Every structure is written in structure tokens, then in C-alpha cells.
Chains A and B, each alone.
Chain A
Amino acid sequence: MLNIKLDCLFDDFSLQVDQNLPTQQIVGLFGASGCGKSRFIRQLLGFDHHFQNETYIQFNESVWQNLQSKVFLKTQHRGIGYLPQTIDLFPHLSVRKNIEFSCINSNRSIDEYWLSRLCFELDIEHLLKKTPSQLSGGQKQRVALARAIIAATKILILDEPLSAIGEDHRPQIMQFIRNFQKEKQIPIIFSSHNRVEHAFLTDYLLTFKAGVIEQSGTYEKISTDINGNFSQMSDAINHIQAEVVEFEIENHVNCLKTAHHQLWAGYQPLNTGSLVNLEVRAQDISIFLGEKTDTSILNSLRVKIVDFKEISRHQYIIKLAFEDTYLIAFITKKSFTTLNLKIDQQVFAMFKSVSVLPISFKSE
């Protein structure tokens, strides 16, 4: 458990947190820029303590900070691997020296096997002899991630870890971060304003707004909680896990299946039998009362309305039970009243635009 109680007053901003976070999982911090994610992270590191009115941070059995009893464990003793948003590689050291920097104090020699695997996974092997000024933005961030992972003896804290990383490396690196957490059993806290990153990485989600935590709970709970802000935002997304059945060559589209449904998505052939993640925007889902076959929309799911809520004068958010998970959809108030939708009603959710993420779900 990571117990955090913060009351900080900055010049123009206040941060209030009272949370117990799980340490067996990946904790995701979500919120718009300037909502307090980075300030929260800096507090965990023990920086900016002159702004504190009240602080209590306890990591498992060790108290990191307690302002009342004047306990303060120095940053260097917290065993944190930290990737700051500003990346901050040491300009005078080679990439390799940067990555090994945390070994200076601990006198531990670096595990060469682990280092080479890490460099392979993050695709930075060819950069080890270079200096930071010779790297691109994405390369710098991958190097800084490697440095943080090597340093993380107790916890890994990543502030916008994928912001500069290109689309080509993103799935692989997200997968690696997940595997790292499972394999080494080291808790991870990461911040991002990117929903896809949270959908893939986050087990336990905290959403920030203006220095306070709005919502906290498992990602599955928060992402389908129609009363919370997280799912009510216009860019809310659903993820459906599906297995690739085949690539229909004549129509150039993949046929996929879930437990009880067949879906079509993706114009690039996917590996038959692989698990993929389909991303459906809540805005792209349409509701039909009966099954439609005379339509150009390919994907149709049998769902049940579980809950609904008016979120603006013209819009409703509805929560739909789909197989063993939930989906959320936005529809206009006019459609909602015209169709006379009710809780427990069986309807069909149809959508045509789907992005396919070639990465499997976190539970796998």
C-alpha cells in the first residue's frame, strides 16, 4: 500500500490528496495539463517540500514523509526510478553511463543480461555509445525510461512516459512496461492524458482536476462509470478484446470474434488467432432497437441498457452490458426519447469506425 495524504499550497495552485494506492499494480494518473499530476509525482519524490502544509507518505512499511513528526526520507533513499516529463538526461555522459547512473551510489554492478534485454526491448542498443545531444526526442525518452527502470528498486514513477515516443515503438514499449511490472513485482505510477495509454496500462486510475482527485478506482470501474467525468468526456473510448479469425482477402478486412459476436475491422491483415484490442469511441456507437442487416454498418452487438444519464441539455450517456463487460455510448436526447429507451432493454449497438490496437489486454 502507498498511503498518501497531501495538502500543498503553491503560489497559484493547491494540491489535496488523500489516497491509499495499491502497490501490486500499475496506477495511472489522468487529467488535463495543469491539473496537478506532475506536482503530485514531485511530492512522491520528496521535491518541493517547502510548499507543504501537511504531508504523510507511507510506502508499505516505510514512512517516507510525515510533516507532523518531521520524518523525511531523502529522495535518494526511496528506491524510486523516475522518468520526468522533461526527460533530463545528463548531457555530459554517454547513453550507457546515463542508464547506469543509479549504480554509482549503490555500488551494485549492472546486471549485463538485464541491461541488454532492456535495451533490446526499448530499441536503444545501437545508441549506448552516443551522447544525449545526438538523440532524437523519442530516443531520449526511451533512454530515460531505461535509466528509470534500472534505478527502480522499490517503485517506478513515470511522468508522461510515452509523450515523445513514436507510434512505431509505442505498442511494444507499453507491452514491455506491463511485463516489467508483472515480472519484477515493482509498483508503477504513471501519468498521461492519453486515454489509450490508460486503457492499456492502468489497473488503478486516479483522475485529477484542479489539484484534487475526482475519481479513483480500478480502470474498469472508472471507465464505465457514467456518473464520473472520465467517461463523460467527449473523447471517451471503449475497448473490446477480440480474436482474429481470418483476413478476408476478397473484401480486404479482418474477421474477428468475441465470445458471442462476429466483428469486422482493420484493413491490414492481422495474425490469425491473435488477440487484439478494438477501440470504439463512445461517440461512434449508434443504438438500434432491432437487429439491422440492411445497413452499411458492419458491426452490431447485442447489448442491454444498464444505466443512463443526461450529461448535457442535448446528450445522454448510456451504459451497455456487452457479454461480460460494459460499453458506454453517447446519443442525443432526441434519439433517447424518440426510441423510448429504458433500463434492462435489449438493443443493438452498431458502429463502423474501429481502430485496431495490435496489443493484448492487460488481464492476459
Chain B
Amino acid sequence: MSDYAAIIVTLKLALTTSAILMLIGLPFAWWLARPSHSLIKNKTRPLIEAVVALPLVLPPTVLGFYLLIVFSPNSWIGSTWLQLTGTTLAFSFTGLVVGSIIYSLPFVIQPLQAAFAAIPQQLLEMSESLGTTKFQRFKHIIFPLSKSGMISAFSLGFAHTLGEFGVVLMIGGNIQNETRVVSIAIYDHVETLRFSDAHQLSLILIAFSLVLLTLLYRNKNNRIGFQ
């Protein structure tokens, strides 16, 4: 039944990560997407975008390695965490969430940023002149026009976290009910030559991801186009 627990941990991790990423990602992607007249913002934006995109190109082991160092009680972050909670970030579920957030960041930020950037500035100005408050503008203009981008962002963040392996291996290890996710379980099965178990989990992951991505692309093709 350890495989069942791995599936639960994986789903929990993917849900938590993508939910937190959406919360961080909405304002952050908005900030990145909207044109600005501030010189500082325009100068720093490419650098920030590059940092966001780093997890796309770096091997997960690099990310995992640095996270491990940061999480260790020898670093100030690790020691502060230890003092506050009495536990270490490394080899814990919370640590995995932190790692996944960084690892999946570009998969959430980039679709959101693209969706926000596609909203013409004039439409926002127009709705402003029509008397709407900031919140009403979000509700009636920004949200409906970027809804499909938001769904993409959430699904991609979710799907990408599901398939995470390297970072988990580096910072999470293989603790039952805590950090043992599906990808680790599969690795474990293969290592111990339990191929049928590995098959079972792999097929579940393939089927799940395929359904998720199909839904995602169907949503993409249905969205309202600008004329």
C-alpha cells in the first residue's frame, strides 16, 4: 500500500504547490506583463524573467543541491526555520513544497504573463473610464480575458510538479507518507527490480498526465480570440 500513499503525497504536493504558485504568480506575472514607464523596472525585468526561467534549463540536481545547502541548519534560513518550527526543511513535505514552487515557477508564471500581456492596455483604460474600480476591472475584464491562461498556468504547474524527480531526490529523499512521491516510488521499484509495480505506477502517471494535458489543450483551443 506504500504506492497508494505515494500517490496521495504526490497529489497533495502538486495541489499545494500549484495553489501557492497561483497566489504568488497572479500579482507577479501581472507586474511582469504590464508595460511600464519606470526605467528601473524596464531595466531589471529581463533579469527577473531570466531568473524565473532558470528552472527550465538547469538540471534539477543543481536546484536541489543549492536548496539542500539553504535548508541545512548551517544556513541562516535553515537555522531560522529550525528555531521557529523545531523541524528541518530538508527531507520534509514543506521542504518539498518550497522546492517544487521554485522548480515549477516558470510553468505558472509564463502562461500567466502571456495571458496578461495579451490584454490590450486600451481595454483597461476603457473600463477605467467607464467607472470601474480596480477590483471590478479584475473581475469583469482581466479575469475573463485571461481565464484560459490561468487554467493553463494551474494545470501546467500541477502536471509539472507531478513529474518532478530530481529535486525531490535531492531534498526530499524517500520517506513514506512524507516525501515519497510517485516518481521516487517508481525509481525505487526499478532499483529493486519490481517491474510490475513500476509499470502500474508509471501507467497511472501517464494516463493522468495525458488526460490533464488533453483537457488543457482543449481549453486553449476554445478560448475567445481578439478580433
Contact = CB atoms under 8 A, between A and B. Distances in A.
B141 A90 contact: yes
B126 A88 contact: yes
Q: Identify whether the interface residues of B are mostly helix, strand, loop, or mixed.
A: helix
B46 interface: no
B130 interface: yes
Given A75-B129, A84-B126, A102-B131, A91 B224 contact: yes
Contacts of B125: 45, 47, 75, 84, 88
B37 A50 contact: yes
A147 B225 CA distance: 22
Interface string A51-95: 000000000000000000000001111111110101010111000
A20 interface: no
B136 A82 contact: no
Contact of A151 (B123, B129, B141, B145): B129
B131 A105 contact: yes
Interface bin, chain A: 20 to 34
Which of B122, B131, B136, B226 has the most A CB atoms < 10 Å from its CB?
B131
Contact of A80 (B37, B120, B122, B129): B129
B227 A82 contact: no
A45 B129 contact: yes
B140 interface: yes
Given A50-B37, A88-B122, A90-B141, A104 B132 contact: yes
Nearest to B143: A92
Which of A45, A90, A133, A147 has the most B CB atoms < 10 Å from its CB?
A90
B227 A91 contact: yes
A76 B131 contact: yes
Contacts of A132: 227
A106 interface: yes
A101 interface: yes
Interface of A: 45, 47, 50, 74-82, 84, 86, 88, 90-92, 101-102, 104-106, 132-133, 147, 151
